[in-house]
Chains A and B, each alone.
Chain A
């Protein structure tokens, strides 16, 4: 793992990453854009999760609401990933040494895996969700898991500001 450190040092010393890191505006605006896009993306994912679990938007057919929200979730996801990668490039050594950053990455991967499984397996039964109890149970489980993973991702992301375990 430590062989990656010289690469991160090189990345941190680049002209443009140094300029962003030291600018009084660039880094704060980049981080704010990251937070705003994460909130928009995860907010809509949570709405879908609440529908899957069965606590909100129950009048709307599951398949329809998922279809309608997906592109908007992606509209939040793409800028959140782009700004997240940029934030890492700008301050790589700080993130590398932060345990919450790694926890966030693992949770992000697990949340992504859950979403992928949901789309490849459970979503294929979308048309039967509303009348088929077994499909409904799977959808509900996917909703609970997604809610837990994304909430934990947000918590660990916020905790990156606090490096308790150096």
Chain B
């Protein structure tokens, strides 16, 4: 079922243009890394605050709200630069267990960030036991670092 989708991605004009160009893929990959770095930075500042470290002079909710705007823009840039990388090598990724693992981890991280992490970050600071934000910060950090690390390892073991 999925094979047809991967083959369609591989056959797109954009994928062919990327495969034929010497520079396009490398430059997109580089911009993807800048976008990922910005995205992870916005996650990290929120997670540090949830863990009770970092900018503790500010409320969790204020840090989370400000970081959310960066997350949206950087997330968009990650997506825009990530899609052509995926379609260009879609048939290789189709056979990669690490790619599947990264995508599952990414889905879990996105879901966790948009639901549990968001709720805890904007919740009244006195209304939660202190271990809850700490646990949420730790899980978020582990999930996003897992996405970053597994994404890099695809080059070697994908």
Write the residues of chain A forming the contact surface with B, with a CB cutoff of 8 angstroms. Answer: 28, 31-32, 35-36, 38-40, 42-47, 50, 56-61, 64-65, 68-69, 72, 151, 154-155, 157-159, 161-162, 164
Q: What is the 8 Å Cβ interface bit string for chain B, positions 51-75, against chain A (1 contact, 0 not)?
A: 0011111100011001101100000
B41 an interface residue at 8 Å Cβ cutoff? yes
- List the B side residues contacting A46 at CB < 8 Å: 37-38, 41
- What are 26 residue pairs bridging A and B, where the CB atoms are less than 8 Å apart in the complex? A28-B155, A28-B156, A32-B149, A36-B148, A36-B152, A39-B33, A43-B37, A43-B43, A43-B44, A45-B41, A47-B42, A47-B45, A56-B66, A56-B69, A57-B45, A57-B55, A57-B67, A60-B57, A61-B57, A68-B54, A72-B53, A151-B34, A154-B37, A155-B34, A157-B33, A158-B30
Nearest Cβ on chain B to A29's Cβ, whole angstroms: 8
Q: Judge whether B70 and A50 touch: CB under 8 Å.
A: yes
Q: Which of B26, B38, B62, B145 interacts with A59 by CB under 8 Å?
A: B62
- List the B side residues contacting A38 at CB < 8 Å: 37
11 further contact pairs, Cβ within 8 A, besides A68-B57, A155-B31? A28-B153, A36-B145, A39-B36, A43-B38, A43-B43, A44-B41, A59-B58, A60-B63, A64-B55, A72-B44, A162-B26
Task: Give the complex CA separation of A162 and B25 in angstroms.
Answer: 10
Q: Is the interface of B mostly helix, strand, loop or mixed?
A: helix
B157 an interface residue at 8 Å Cβ cutoff? yes
Q: Judge whether A56 and B62 touch: CB under 8 Å.
A: no
Q: Judge whether B63 and A40 touch: CB under 8 Å.
A: no
- List the A side residues contacting B44 at CB < 8 Å: 40, 43-44, 47, 72
Nearest Cβ on chain A to B49's Cβ, whole angstroms: 9
- List the B side residues contacting A56 at CB < 8 Å: 66-67, 69-70
- List the A side residues contacting B55 at CB < 8 Å: 57, 60, 64-65, 68-69
Tier of interface size on chain B: 35 or more
Task: Give the complex CA separation of A69 and B64 in angstroms.
Answer: 15
B136 an interface residue at 8 Å Cβ cutoff? no
Q: What is the 8 Å Cβ interface bit string for chain B, positions 61-104, against chain A (1 contact, 0 not)?
A: 01100110110000000000000000000000000000000000
Q: Judge whether B41 and A42 touch: CB under 8 Å.
A: yes
Nearest Cβ on chain B to A115's Cβ, whole angstroms: 16
Interface positions, chain B 14-47, Cβ under 8 Å from A, are: 22-23, 26, 29-31, 33-34, 36-45
Q: Judge whether B36 and A44 touch: CB under 8 Å.
A: no
Task: Give the complex CA separation of A69 and B57 in angstroms.
Answer: 11
Q: Judge whether A47 and B41 touch: CB under 8 Å.
A: yes
Question: Closest B-chain residue to A27, C-beta based?
Answer: B156
Question: Closest B-chain residue to A43, C-beta based?
Answer: B41
Q: Judge whether A154 and B33 touch: CB under 8 Å.
A: yes
B48 an interface residue at 8 Å Cβ cutoff? yes
Nearest Cβ on chain B to A133's Cβ, whole angstroms: 22
- List the A side residues contacting B149 at CB < 8 Å: 32, 36
